[in-house]
Amino acid sequence: MSTRFNFSRTSLVLVSSLALPAGLGCRNTAASDETGQIGASVGEVMSSLDESAQGDTSVAMMPTLPVMRLPAALRPPAWRRALDWVSPTAHAAACREATFSTCTSGERTRTFTDCSVGLATLSGTVGLSFSATPLCALLSAGDSITRTANFTLTGLYGGSLTVTSPGGGQTLTRTASGFTYAVGGIERVLKGPAGRTVFDVSTTTPTPITVTGSSRADLVIVSGSLLVTHHLAGYSVLLTPNNLAWAPSCNCAVSGSLTGSVSGGKHDGKSATVTLTGCGEADITIDGQTESISLDRCTSI
């Protein structure tokens, strides 16, 4: 029997599910590179799964685009932000105005053409490919949706974040008891104003994530694995989820943990743990050192 979802349409969506790393809002900006990128990847996977699990004929997981969180390297200096707050300047059309195309043979596309995200601009596309045609829906066991990305966010003073899906994007498949969630590959490359690459991070699921439940009231990630690879720094972190449980008031899990180890880099062979402490908050421990951070794209609703 199929289940429709009636989640709040105010949930946080960043370019329709594909993560942007550290940015605006209350965050631990002193977090190390390792904890920051692990947190960004975990938050991205949880919120993207949440958004995908709302799939129905109206694509309810695609609500109006709110304010995006921008990577620090793309943010204008403090004086410009203050000036823009006092005397707002004209910007390109807001990205919230870009909507998904109608369902055509199971495909929907959202196109961004130099639209504004604060003082940054966004160009590119996000695609949705539904196995159930022509409805573009997740109604029965075996139905799936795959998201792919090819977009670039460019800062006012240069610098850019490019998000692509070289490994096939993210696929959510309905099962009899919930869902499976497979990330074939999402890559995020951030470059500074001078063109220097700040980070190049990819996320995959070597073992698809298994999810039970049908709404935020009972959604739980019970198994699978998540691999975060930092290509520039030459390290990766393989994490296994343990009962990541949602709450009705959050678009991400609010309890549970992920455990694993680091391969390569200065922490090669060391243990890594991500413990969720609330909505959008987590303690990340690497080799016995713990940092508390905010998770990108996880928010109260």
Q: What is the pLDDT of residue 90?
A: 46
Rounded to whole angstroms, how far apart are CA atoms 150 and 243?
32
Q: What is the pLDDT of residue 183?
A: 93
Q: What is the pLDDT of residue 236?
A: 94
Rounded to whole angstroms, how far apart are CA atoms 223 and 240?
7
Inform me whether the pLDDT recorded for 279 exceeds 80.
yes
Percent of the chain at pLDDT above 70? 75
- Residues 139-152: tens digit of each pLDDT: 889 999 898 889 99
Per the model's pLDDT, the better-predicted residue between 1 and 268 turns out to be 268
Inform me whether the pLDDT recorded for 301 exceeds 90.
no
Inform me whether the pLDDT recorded for 19 exceeds 60.
no
Average pLDDT value for residue range 263-272: 91
Going by pLDDT thresholds of 50, 70 and 90, the confidence category of residue 298 is confident
Judge contact between 28 and 294, C-beta under 8 A.
yes
- Residues 77-100: tens digit of each pLDDT: 544 444 444 444 444 467 777 788
Inform me whether the pLDDT recorded for 220 exceeds 90.
yes
Rounded to whole angstroms, how far apart are CA atoms 30 and 270?
21
Q: What is the pLDDT of residue 185?
A: 92
Inform me whether the pLDDT recorded for 126 exceeds 70.
yes
